[in-house]
Amino acid sequence: MSRKKVHDKEFEIYIPSAEIRKVISEMAIKINQDLAGKDVIFLGILNGAFMFASDLFREITLDCQISFLKLASYAGTSSTGNVKRLIGINEDIFQKTVVILEDIVDTGVTLDNIIKQLKGYEPAEIKVATLLYKPDAYTKDLKLDYVGLEIPNDFVLGYGLDYEGLGRNLADLYKVVED
Ligand code: 5GP
């Protein structure tokens, strides 16, 4: 079934799971080479990156750690309502090589916010690995060290990404059908 209806929108298959797996394997090979010998901790950003993090991590051969973070709205904020606090940093990232695992980088605002907060914990360096990247929407100068696929400015769904809570369980990546 190549089309799915989720809530009010129609989606069609965009990137099949076999291609996603191939892209992730290639990324894992690069990470394994680049970060050999370093003290590495992967930080998956919930919810969207859980599937990517899981598939990538099983192909990582480094001696390393993984943990997951979530962005939560600051309680009681009014003026800066879209600034979100990073929660769940249990592992000590001090002087470690941190690899942020993101499902998608769109404007880059979320990533910028995450990096600013992580810097406060004084890691040795921060690398970014994202499965998807929308270059036409990107507004930041932050380096994206590992990019799986560059995609146009379409809304995508599946492989961990949702549309209003649904669709994260789809193995393939879908994109919205504009009508
Ligand atoms: P940014 O801060 O880079 O603009 O946005 C990052 C977040 O926006 C992602 O973590 C994701 O939650 C959401 N997002 C951006 N583009 C898409 C998309 O095409 N599909 C879905 N499901 N979420 C997206």
Per the domain annotation, does 158 fall within a domain?
no
Global pTM? 0.95
Residue 45 lies in a domain: yes
CATH number at residue 47: 3.40.50.2020
Question: For position 75, what pLDDT does the model report?
Answer: 52
The rounded mean pLDDT for the chain is 93
**Domain, as residue range, for 132:** 23-151
CA-closest candidate to residue 127, choices 104, 154, 102, 110: 102
Q: Which of 55, 106, 145, 172 is labelled catalytic?
A: 106
Ligand 1 atom nearest 138 alpha carbon: 3
Q: Residue 8 domain-assigned?
A: no
Any domain includes 123: yes
Residue with tokens 């002087």: 95
177 occurs within a structural domain:
no
Tokens of residue 25, six digits: 């394997």
Quick check: 97 and 136 in contact, CB under 8 A?
A: no
Domains contained in the chain, number: 1
Cis peptide leading into residue 113 (ω within 30°): no
Ligand 1 pocket, CB under 6 A: 48, 103-111, 155-157, 161-163
Strand partners, 43: 67, 100
Q: For residue 105, which atom of ligand 1 is closest to its CA? A: 3
Supply the DSSP symbol for 7.
T
Q: What is the mean pLDDT of residues 120-138?
A: 97
pLDDT computed for residue 89 by the predictor:
87
d(CA 144, CA 108): 10
Q: What is the pLDDT of residues 22-78, one digit of tens each?
A: 999 999 999 999 999 999 999 999 999 999 999 999 999 999 999 999 998 765 544
- Is residue 58 included in any domain, yes or no? yes
179 is catalytic: no
In a domain, 12, yes or no: no
C-alpha to C-alpha distance for 30 and 36, rounded to whole angstroms: 10
**Position 15 in a domain:** no
